[in-house]
Structure formats: C-alpha cells, structure tokens
Amino acid sequence: MEHISVLVDEVLANLRPVPGGVYVDATVGHGGHARALLEREPGIGRLICIDQDSDAIARSSAALSAFGSRVVFCNQSFTELRDILRQAGIHAIDGIVFDLGVSTGQLKDPSRGFSMYLEGPLDMRMNAGAALHAKNLIEQLDTDELADTIYRYGEERFSRRIAAHIKARQADITTTADLALVVSEAIPARHHPRSIHPATKTFQALRIAVNNELQALETGLQAACDALGSAGRMCVISFHSLEDRIVKTMFKRWAAGCVCPRDLPVCACGCTPRVRIVTARAVRPCGAEISANARARSAKLRVAEKL
C-alpha cells in the first residue's frame, strides 16, 4: 500500500540540505522524505534512516538501495538516537526529520491491528517485538485507568462510558472489529461524529499508550536537539494536538534558555538559548495537498535551528 508523504517541499525548504552534510530521518517509514532528500541533495554525506518497525526498514531499504552505502538503516526507536549516532561515529548532525504517527502501510495492514475499519488482531505495536499490545493493555488496566488513558490520549469525552463497556465485554473483544463495535455502542448514537468513525479517538489513545508515543517523542526530540550541530535544523511533522503541544513546548523552552522564575531579578540558572524557532506558526499543507491526501489535513510542521 502506497504511503503519500506529507509536506515534502516544506520539509526540504526548511532542512536546507548541503553537500557532505549528515542527516537523520528519524521515522523513515516508506522512505518518502528520505528519497526526496537524497534526490534534492545528491551530494549528501550520510543519511541515517531510523524506524522501530522492521517492515518499514525492509521496505525503505529496498526502495532506497540505489543510493548506496551513504544511506544507513537502523531498526531502532528514535529514543536511542544518541547510541545510534555514537555507534556510527557521528558527533554532530546537520539536520533531522520526524514524521510522526503511523504509515499507510501499517494502517492498511489488517494484521497490525491499527485500523477500526479492517478486522485484525488487537495489536497496534509499531515494534512487533515489543511486549505490550492493545489486547493485553486493555486487560492490564482497570476501568478507571483505561478511562484516563482514553481521555488523556484520545481527548474522548465519553471515555468513562467507553472504558466501562470495554471492561464489561473484555473477554469477547479479540479483534479490532470487536473493539470498534463495543466503542460505537458505548457512545450515544446522537453523539456519533459525522466525518470520522466513533472509535477513532479510542483507537488513537490505545495506539499512543501501546507505543508510549508521547514519552518517546520527548526523549527523541531532546536527543535530536543535543545531536544537532550549530545551524543544524530539526523538522517535526505532527498529526494531533498532543504531539504538537510537546513539540511547541520543547521548542519554546530551548529557545528561551533561562528557566528562572520570572520575578527573579538576575538569572541564576545559567541556561542559555539552544535554538531559534524558524516557524513562528506551524506550517500547514496547502489545499491542493489536502485534496490529494486526506491524511495531510491534520499535519503541522514545526522547525527549529540549533544556535
């Protein structure tokens, strides 16, 4: 299943790749952004392509094989960026791209259990070797914990009702279709959203929890900021407000430097700004891109430059 990469021109225009530069695609997926980068700057020094999904690494390494040994593939989480770079003997990078969330290949593969539209096991792991999948997450959490998870990561107002329904029918819920049905039944019909499946927010919440996505994002962004050399750029594409809030908050904190209380007359922390925020407002896809690719409608790109 083809994945259409989002905001490709905007990422390249902001990343400004230079000959001999060292770059990281932290979420290589199908290799769309990586390919565009390699085609835009054929003189690139090295491109480290990371994905925690072994299928994505197999797919992208086959797709990008023509670019040779300058492109290196790592089947790891971007939370391990520090180790990945150390093992590759890289001290500083010139740019990094994060394109968060799941790829079309993951979403459209029923056996991965990401989609409420396709029947498959209740899995949702990006890293198929990880211990926790959606079925055992549901079993491990009590009703309150499950409701909190659905509320926090799905921003779902019917989280309590949904959690209670899921826990009451837990033994019968083994597939994505079972879960989608139980969630739909938990939400009063008059409150079913018009444009999305009623279980969309619950599926998002469980996926975020299974993959520990928000914690991973914070760790990955921090490692990226540390790894960037002076004038190196970080481009982050997010797809929902929880991710975007983390990106925005971390960029602001790095740009501000000092973390002293506002009423302290003189800085005591000694922290200095680490980045300049390039995108005062998030960059959004244009209308034509959204018409061609529905997944682009919620995409936001934020860019920071290391000082």
Q: What residues make contact with ligand SAM under the rule CB under 6 A?
A: 3, 5, 27, 29-33, 50-53, 56, 77-79, 99, 101-103, 126, 216
Residues 6+ apart with CB under 8 A from 67: 38, 47
Residue number, 26 or 162, with CB nearest to ligand SAM: 26
Distance CA 89, CA 229 (A): 15
Structure tokens at 73: 């593939």
Question: Considering the complex, what minimum distance in angstroms separates the CB of residue 83 from ligand SAM?
Answer: 13
Q: Is 73 helix (H, G, I), strand (E, B) or coil?
A: strand
Phi-psi label, residue 35: left if phi above 0, alpha if psi -120 to 50, beta otherwise: alpha
Question: Considering the complex, what minimum distance in angstroms separates the CB of residue 257 from ligand SAM?
Answer: 27
CB 52 within 8 Å of CB 127: yes
Residue number, 44 or 147, with CB nearest to ligand SAM: 44
C-beta atoms surrounding 266 within 10 Å: 5
C-beta atoms surrounding 23 within 10 Å: 25
Residue number, 183 or 235, with CB nearest to ligand SAM: 235
Residue number, 156 or 243, with CB nearest to ligand SAM: 243
Q: Are strands 275-277 and 300-306 parallel, antiparallel or unpaired?
A: antiparallel
Residue number, 31 or 95, with CB nearest to ligand SAM: 31
Distance CA 225, CA 252 (A): 12
